[in-house]
Structure 1
Amino acid sequence: MVSEKVQINNPSGLHLRPAGILCKEAMKYKSLITFEYAGGTANAKSVLSVLGACVKCGDEITIFCEGADETEALRNLVMVINKGLGE
């Protein structure tokens, strides 16, 4: 299992469009991908789970990847988040 903390910098947080982009990226990998935030844990491959996390701009999340392609998955998810998730 690998993990990394990352800050969400999108002005509106993880609303529908960036949540969809995050999920689409996460679904490319076989690994189990979740993230922890102030209120609990969310499945990064589920748009409803990501939206339910109510992550706002400036919030820090910790991404966890576990599986055969965990290192590649973590690296690319962090990169996509740092690039603003399409915004």
Structure 2
Amino acid sequence: MVSKRVVISNPTGLHLRPAGNLCKVAMNFKSHITFSYGDNVANAKSVLSVLGACVKCGDELEFKCEGPDEEEAMSAMVEAIEGGLGE
């Protein structure tokens, strides 16, 4: 398992479009990918789970990837978030 903390820089947080883009990236990997924010743990492969976390700009998330391609998955997730998730 690998984990990393990232800060959301999207001005509007993870609303529907960036949440969908995050899920698209996560779905490319076999690993189980989650993130925690406060008391919430969200499945990064589920748009409803990501939206339910109510992530706003400046929030710090801790991503955890566990599985056969966990290193690649973590790199892709961090790269997508730092790239603005299509926003």
Task: Tell me if both proteins adopt one fold, taking TM over 0.5 as the criterion.
Answer: yes
TM-score (norm 1): 0.98
Gaps of 5+ in 1: none
Offset at 1:40? Answer: 1.2
Unpaired runs of at least 5, structure 2: none
- The Cα RMSD (Å) is 0.5
Normalising by structure 2, report the TM-score: 0.98
Q: How many residues align?
A: 87
Q: Structure 1: how far apart are the matches of 2:38 and 2:79?
A: 22
Counterpart of 1:22 in 2: which secondary structure? helix
Offset, 1:39: 3.1
| Contact 1:24/1:45 (8 A) holds in 2 | yes
- Identical residues among aligned pairs (%): 67
**1:9-24 correspondence runs (5 A):** 9-24=9-24
Distance 1:38 1:6 in 2: 14
Displaced runs of 4+ in structure 1, greater than 6 A? none
Task: Answer whether contact 1:31 1:65 (CA < 8 A) is retained.
Answer: yes
